[in-house]
A = this chain, B = another copy of it.
Amino acid sequence: MPLSLAAQVEALAPQLIAWRRDFHRHPEQGWTEFRTASRVAESLDALGYQVAVGDAVVDREARLGVPDAATLADALARARDQGGVTRWLAAMEGGLTGVVGTLDTGRPGPTLAYRFDLDALPILESEAGTHRPARLGFRSCHPGSMHACAHDGHTALGLGLAHLLPALASRLTGRIKLLFQPAEEGVRGAGAMAEAGVVDDVDHFIATHLGLGQPEGTLICGADGFLATTKLDVTFTGRAAHAGGEPEKGRNALLAAAQAVQALHAIAPHAAGASRLNVGRLEAGSGRNVIADTAFMQLETRGSTTAINDYVEGRAREVLAGAARMQGVELAIARLGAAVECASSPALVERIATALEGRAGIRELITHDTTPAGSEDATLLMRRVIERGGEAAYLIFGTRLAAGHHHPEFDFDEATLAPTLEALASIALALAGEAADADGRELAE
């Protein structure tokens, strides 16, 4: 055995950090990850992976929350200027920014897939000297966009895994697919990759996240607490009228929205578990003395199960229709994002836990955790795998954070990247039947 996995990872560690900082410096929001995705595709191709992009991996119609054409075009042009790889960009035009790289070991065996998310958030990154990316010069070069949820790290891990696997190929079986997904923020992208069928041949599916409140050294192998969710944008359109002169001629969209807000927040809870609804934004009306002819709301529903979320969304749609009827205004609802509950497969979680227990960097290993947290659209890929007979697991690797997720000073400890990469690679070895001990745990000692 030429080089142990640990040694390979150690060799790759500086590169991991370099990738992460490059992505951090060039954040691209959902469906505009042209630079990131094209560079990932270029790397995978160079490493010998079979690479698929564009319509082959993203169902165009199933995408949610796609920006307008001008935004997409601007982002594409910007990516061309900043190192995006031209030969991949054409297929991604219009926001088809998913990438799948497949490594065929040539030996029979199940198909294993890993999923990494690519996109950044609409946040203006801190310039404070206390903020490491600012201090070290890899702060976002795109004001208003920021990797504040560690997806830069996830993408770097994906690239790192892509570099490791060919060297490990002789110890692996079946096929390994690396999925790079756009638009996780707002849970907009995974559904479109699922619809494109990219996991339809997958037997074992692994999704992963850094941080999420877990301390460094903690690994959750089955993070089952993600809430099913739906993101809705709602527009009421009424009729303006002078509020003093002819109030009866108006159709008050602001009033419809106000009534909807109250009734939405008053949707009854569900006996089977937690439910949530939030109208987080409301913008209505044009001027003080004009009856408002338009109101726009951004809301989300959540449930500890998909059924509960469906119940809340269904009730929300009734309420919205009723509010529109009350005021005689038009109603338009756009579905901007969706994710389901998370149910890691117990058997797969068990195998992963067995493979990783006691490894370097893992001080506490939790099999299943159901603390309700936010939502994650990898759950849609997990469900697709499980519905077709496969198994799926969602892993959370704890790390030290400078500030919470989605904060302008968010930063994670880059020292977490190497052990996380090693753990991800170890899973592939373990699932290929190799005794984990042979490579990982002992070396870690």
Task: Show the binding face of A for B, using Cβ within 8 Å.
Answer: 186, 227, 229, 231, 242-250, 252, 254-255, 257-259, 261-263, 265-266, 268-272, 274-276, 278-292, 295, 298-300, 302, 311, 315, 318-319, 321-328, 372-375
Contact = CB atoms under 8 A, between A and B. Distances in A.
A326 B263 CA distance: 8
Contact of A258 (B258, B270, B302): B258
Given A254-B261, A258-B261, A374 B288 contact: no
A258 B372 CA distance: 28
Contact of A278 (B247, B282, B315, B328): B247
Contact of A289 (B287, B300, B319): B300
B291 A280 contact: yes
A318 B328 contact: yes
A445 to B, nearest CB: 38
A262 B269 contact: no
Contact of A325 (B245, B252, B291, B322): B322
Contacts of A243: 276, 278, 280, 300, 302
A248 B282 CA distance: 20
B247 A268 contact: yes
Nearest to A375: B244
A307 B163 CA distance: 52
Contact of A284 (B229, B274, B282, B318): B282
B271 A265 contact: no
Instruction: Give chain A's interface secondary structure class.
Output: mixed
Contacts of A227: 244
Contact of A287 (B280, B292, B325): B280
Contacts of A283: 282-284
- Most chain B Cβ neighbours within 10 Å, of A268, A282, A298, A315: A268
A255 B297 CA distance: 12
A281 B286 CA distance: 6
Contact of A280 (B271, B286, B302): B286
A281 B271 contact: no
A272 B318 CA distance: 28
A295 B323 CA distance: 19
Nearest to A404: B242
Given A247-B270, A265-B265, 9 more contacts: A244-B278, A244-B375, A245-B374, A248-B311, A258-B262, A278-B291, A281-B285, A282-B292, A322-B324
A60 to B, nearest CB: 24
A316 to B, nearest CB: 10
Contacts of A261: 254-255, 258
15 contacts: A243-B302, A245-B271, A247-B270, A248-B271, A249-B271, A255-B263, A255-B265, A258-B282, A262-B266, A263-B326, A278-B291, A280-B289, A280-B292, A285-B298, A318-B326
Contacts of A323: 322, 326
